Amino acid sequence: MSASALFSPELIQKYDVSGPRYTSYPTAVQFTPEFDAAAYVRHARENLERHGDRPLSLYFHLPFCASVCYYCACNKIITNNRRHAADYLERLFREIGMQAALHGGARPVAQLHWGGGTPTFFDEAQMSALMRVTGEHFTLLGGDAGDYSLEVDPRTTPPGTIERLRELGFNRISLGVQDFAADVQLAVNRVQSEEETRRVVDTARATGFRSVSLDLIYGLPHQSLASFDATLDRVLDIRPDRLSVFNYAHLPHLFKTQKQIDAAQLPAAAEKLAILERSIERLTDAGYVYIGMDHFALPDDELSRAQRDDTLYRNFQGYSTHSNCDLVAMGMSSIGMLTHSYSQNLKEAAPYYAALDAGRLPIARGVELSEDDRIRRDAITRLICHFHVGMDAFSKRWNVDFKDYFAQELARLAPLADDGLVDIADDEITVLPPGRLLIRLVCMTFDKYLEAPAERTRFSRAI
Ligand code: SF4
């Protein structure tokens, strides 16, 4: 698909409102402390009874970073004291044992991800121990039968680490780059040479990682169309299998490290839009498929194939090919998903440690999904992953009449159809190319919780 089909400045200007990224529905805003550890245990037991044949996806949040990137909105702990990692792992091992006992250790782990923070803050012995303890409690798949991925920071990845990670069973790797321009890197306190990035990518490929993913950010200080173009030259030369191009949202009142960024150095809105347009143009010209929500993939990548086959899924780790998994999340602030619930761990280290030291699961909040939540989640997931939803099949799946059930939503979609963002046919809603960059707006139509206008202000803009 051409960039010009996807990119319509007029429609972006008209429709670029704040909205959720829909890594869950209901979104985390609806999580409450009433959904506590006891509720989680009850849900996990029921889930095991009813859906115990489903494979598992495991997420581990490893929060430490040696230095802070000023744009960062992640939940992390900045430290140079490696002792913290040992203390953290001690608690994480307890949590692994408790979670495995709840979910049934015999279920195959189809997907595993280490996110951060910086997983490579941990030394090789600690990373090996984490994988060993995980394998003692859960059924890890050998021979690359699972998708086992992690985020790697080339600045804290000494030679030999990638080889070791491959031996541990990882087969997908994701690297933050953001921008190769030196002045941009300095302004955001993330100085990472192209050589460091290439060394990790080359080693990953040489050792048999089947997928390399890079993250870029547009809207950072000093960026311009020309400077970002130069970064894209170098990125396209690396040719990662997957690529994310995120919009930097400057929200220093919410993320205090962003106060270090001088707002006067940020590109103007028109420049940002031009950077986005050029990025889409260059990536699609280079053969990348726009998956949705800032993500691109090569056409033979599993994400692109899953989108073509209508099996793509979306969860807290972004797009995924594992729709049939229960997501068990471990580590502070991590978010898990069972068939009928979401749950989130405590966000700060001290209470997270205290809960586990007292033998309690560190669940802070969550939400139990109603039937209506699950119906809407299905509609939103199909739109955000496949850009279409078939009404008859949907009606049969949920035993409802789609057109009756979503009569108001269809009425709210009508103006978007008039503007060419969506097509509403007799049996199908299709998101047309100009609507794909604005997909969250289409999904918002089906979000019951956004009917209160105050709810809309909690989210960032799409572009
Ligand atoms: S962007 Fe990554 S490496 Fe940088 S501070 Fe945030 S979590 Fe740490």
Query: Which of 271, 204, 196, 272 has its CA nearest to residue 234?
Result: 196
H or E segment and range at residue 215: strand 211-218
Best residue for ligand 1 mutational test, from 64, 65, 244, 258 (most atoms within 8 Å of Cβ): 65
Top pLDDT among 375 and 455 is at 375
The per-residue pLDDT for range 165-175, each reduced to its tens digit, is 999 999 999 99
Q: Domain coordinates of the chain in residue numbers?
A: 1-26+371-463, 28-330
What pTM was computed for the model? 0.94
Q: Are 228 and 279 in contact (CB under 8 A)?
A: yes
Q: Count the helix, strand and coil residues of the chain and give each as a percent rounded to the nearest 5.
A: 45, 20, 35
Tell me which residues have their CB closer than 6 angstroms to ligand 1. 65, 68-69, 72, 74, 76, 116-118, 153, 176
Cα dist from 276 to 224, 248, 282, 438, whole Å = 11, 12, 10, 13
Cα dist from 434 to 16, 244, 290, 380, 439, whole Å = 12, 19, 12, 18, 9
What are the beta bridge partners of residue 32?
A: 366
The per-residue pLDDT for range 243-298, each reduced to its tens digit, is 999 999 999 999 999 999 999 999 998 999 999 999 999 999 999 999 998 999 99
Residue 75 has pLDDT above 70, yes or no: yes
Average pLDDT for 214-241: 97
Task: Give me the CATH topology for the region 1-26+371-463.
Answer: Arc Repressor Mutant, subunit A (1.10.10)
Q: State in Å: Cα 432 to ligand 1 middle.
A: 35
Structure tokens at 287: 């053969």
Q: Whose CA is nearest to atom 1 of ligand 1?
A: 72
Give the integer Cα–Cα distance in Å for 120 and 165.
Answer: 10
Ligand 1: atom nearest CA of 76 is 7
Residue 374 has pLDDT above 60, yes or no: yes
Best residue for ligand 1 mutational test, from 64, 70, 72, 334 (most atoms within 8 Å of Cβ): 72
Q: State in Å: Cα 193 to ligand 1 middle.
A: 16
Residue 53 has pLDDT above 80, yes or no: yes
The per-residue pLDDT for range 91-134, each reduced to its tens digit, is 999 999 999 999 988 999 999 999 999 999 999 999 999 999 99
Task: Give me the CATH topology for the region 28-330.
Answer: pyruvate-formate lyase- activating enzyme (3.80.30)
Best residue for ligand 1 mutational test, from 62, 64, 68 (most atoms within 8 Å of Cβ): 68
Confidence band for 15, pLDDT divided at 50, 70 and 90: confident
Average pLDDT for 59-84: 94
- pLDDT value, residue 461: 62
288 backbone dihedrals φ, ψ, rounded to 5°: -75, 150
CA 195 from centroid of its chain's CA atoms:
26
Residue 455 has pLDDT above 60, yes or no: no
In the sheet that 422-424 helps form, which strands lie side by side, from edge to edge?
A: 388-390, 428-431, 422-424
Q: Whose CA is nearest to atom 7 of ligand 1?
A: 117
Query: Which of 157, 188, 160, 192 has its CA nearest to residue 177?
Result: 192
- pLDDT value, residue 462: 58
Best residue for ligand 1 mutational test, from 78, 80, 84, 118 (most atoms within 8 Å of Cβ): 118
Give the integer Cα–Cα distance in Å for 180 and 197.
Answer: 10
Q: State in Å: Cα 116 to ligand 1 middle.
A: 7
Q: State in Å: Cα 70 to ligand 1 middle.
A: 8
Q: Whose CA is nearest to atom 4 of ligand 1?
A: 69
Confidence band for 14, pLDDT divided at 50, 70 and 90: confident
